[in-house]
Amino acid sequence: MTAKKTAIQGIKLVDFPEEIDEQNGIKVYGETSWENQLAVLSHYLHNNGRIGDEEYKKELIYTIREFLERKKENKNEEITDEYVTKVAENPTEYNLFSDFFNVPFLDPEKPKFTFIDLFAGMGGFRLAMQAQGGKCVFSSEWNKYAQKTYLANFGEMPFGDITKNVTKSYIPEKFDVLCAGFPCQPFSIAGVSKKKSLGRETGFKDKTQGTLFFDVADIISRHRPKAFFLENVKNLMSHDKGNTFKVIKGTLEELRYSLHYLVMDGQSYVPQHRERIMIVGFDRDIFHGEEQFAFPEQKQKTKSIKDILDPNIEEKYTLSDKLWNYLQNYAEKHRAKGNGFGFGLVSLNGISRTLSARYYKDGSEILIPQSDGKNPRRLSPRECARLMGYPDEYRLNQVSDVQAYRQCGNSVVVPLITAVSEQLIKTMLAN
């Protein structure tokens, strides 16, 4: 392995390897992406300068140098090793990192607990947990556009692919709650019986290897949080004739966590029919299965579509004659065949269908009727964010409308997650 790139350790130059050796957990500072460097720096800043091992410190020094090089106005100005070291030791004394804190949703000043945010997306889980007094100590999201949105709102760049050991190495040893709206990947049941104690050739690894759920289970196994909160699509329970959920449930119970799960509909909180399964777990080694947890009561809808609409909307959101005619013809063709496929023209006093990540294509599942003979229109990205329960101070303009639509369609319903989080945290702190 060659060594060409250099980083700063104190005032001394230290050589680092050029290639990435993920199996051995080697981080390559000169070759990592700027996004990863921002993740290192922003996590450091938001965790009051608390960092882990010596390798992390080396990477931080390198990252700060890169940041200062990009930030400087005079390109001929020399950034000395001594200056970089001083900045790294007392970053809050320098007015260099204000952009990381001039954001709408900062961590609470006196947190009651800590959590990590996996598959973070737009940060719906983070908003919910911060509302309970929680401090996020690690976030991960692989999509670069979602990373930009997350950074603009929380001042923290999420780390990337959580399936990589290098990414997992940034997770703090201890934290209280793990949050993850993990994607549902199909996997088969190997039918392997439970083997050795966890940490070796375990049953859950045999049954879930190669899926994103395995990475969640792996992190739970390694770090033993007091509790976790997982969210997924309703169909997770029926997928593969119920076998997928059987494996997930068995895996989490094998890790010595007591489970509470329920399918809940977002329409109790936002004007949208959106059913998702909520899975909450508590460490049996701490709570002994005696925690007094209950999901919040599911109420009837309290809001209508008209409550999230802007009175003055740009013309670009109105469907063209060509698209509107196509959608009507498509719906009529399927109606003649007895199928239910078609567009969703909503009642302003009612609720919408489930917003999907494909909404940017034509907006067909949620169309807003307009007066004066105008064609229906799609929701704007801001209206989509409201439909998911995001407050208006949430920043969306870091990405295009297409990416904003995708992020909203993949998001969680924030007030629903907040209501469940409130019950989870009350239970955890009470015990």
Chain segment 149-206, per-residue pLDDT in tens: 999 999 999 999 999 999 999 999 999 999 999 876 554 333 333 333 334 334 455 5
Structure-token match 């049996």, residue found = 284
Q: Which residue would you say has higher pLDDT here, 19 or 41?
A: 41
One domain, residues 399 and 417: no
84: in domain: yes
Contact 124, 414 (CB under 8 A): yes
Query: 422 pLDDT exceeds 70?
Result: yes
Overall domain count for the chain = 3
One domain, residues 282 and 332: no
One domain, residues 335 and 275: no
Length of the chain: 431
Residue type, 6: T
- Strand pairing partners for 257? 283
334: in domain: yes
One domain, residues 124 and 239: yes
Residue 52's CB is within 10 A of a number of other CB atoms, namely 14
Q: What mean pLDDT, rounded, does the chain reach?
A: 84
Q: Structure tokens of 242?
A: 């119920």
Can you tell me the distance from the alpha carbon of 257 to that of 160, in angstroms, rounded to the nearest whole number? 27
Percent of the chain with pLDDT over 90: 60
Q: Structure tokens of 426?
A: 């009350």
Q: Smallest Cα–Cα separation from 38: which of 167, 173, 151?
A: 151
Can you tell me the distance from the alpha carbon of 140 to that of 126, in angstroms, rounded to the nearest whole number? 12
Beta strands in 75-181 (DSSP E): 113-118, 134-139, 177-180
C-alpha dihedral (22, 189, 179, 234), degrees to nearest 10: 140
- Kindly give, in sequence order, each residue whose CB lies less than 8 Å from that of residue 218, ignoring residues fewer than 6 positions away: 168, 205
Q: Smallest Cα–Cα separation from 34: which of 9, 65, 12?
A: 65
Q: Structure tokens of 100?
A: 């990381």
One domain, residues 168 and 249: yes
One domain, residues 88 and 136: no
- Mean pLDDT over residues 346-365, rounded? 94
Query: 318 pLDDT exceeds 70?
Result: yes
Q: Smallest Cα–Cα separation from 387: which of 252, 273, 244?
A: 273
One domain, residues 210 and 255: yes
Q: For the domain that residue 239 is a member of, what is the CATH number?
A: 3.40.50.150
Helix (H, G, I), strand (E, B) or coil at 263: strand
- Kindly give, in sequence order, each residue whose CB lies less than 8 Å from that of residue 165, ignoring residues fewer than 6 positions away: 22, 23, 25
Helix (H, G, I), strand (E, B) or coil at 214: helix
Contact 385, 359 (CB under 8 A): no
**227-233 and 177-180: which strand pairing?**
parallel
Can you tell me the distance from the alpha carbon of 321 to that of 375, in angstroms, rounded to the nearest whole number? 7
One domain, residues 79 and 213: no
197: in domain: yes
C-alpha dihedral (383, 384, 389, 394), degrees to nearest 10: -70
One domain, residues 246 and 277: yes
Out of 144-153, 236-245, 251-260, 394-403, which region has the weakest mean confidence (pLDDT)?
A: 236-245
One domain, residues 285 and 314: no
Out of 182-191, 243-252, 407-416, which region has the weakest mean confidence (pLDDT)?
A: 182-191
- Strand pairing partners for 263? 277
15: in domain: yes
Concerning whether 184 is annotated as a catalytic residue, the answer is yes
One domain, residues 78 and 137: no
Q: Smallest Cα–Cα separation from 119: which of 156, 159, 155?
A: 159
List strands edge to edge, sheet with 227-233: 134-139, 113-118, 177-180, 227-233, 275-283, 257-265
Helix (H, G, I), strand (E, B) or coil at 350: coil
One domain, residues 33 and 154: no
Can you tell me the distance from the alpha carbon of 84 to that of 64, in angstroms, rounded to the nearest whole number? 7
Query: 74 pLDDT exceeds 80?
Result: no
Contact 154, 105 (CB under 8 A): yes
108: in domain: no
**Residue 121 lies in domain:** 113-299+413-430
- Give residue-wise pLDDT tens across range 111-134: 999 999 999 999 999 999 999 999
Q: Which of 136, 184, 384, 408 is catalytic?
A: 184
106: in domain: no
- Mean pLDDT over residues 300-308, rounded? 91
Query: 78 pLDDT exceeds 90?
Result: no
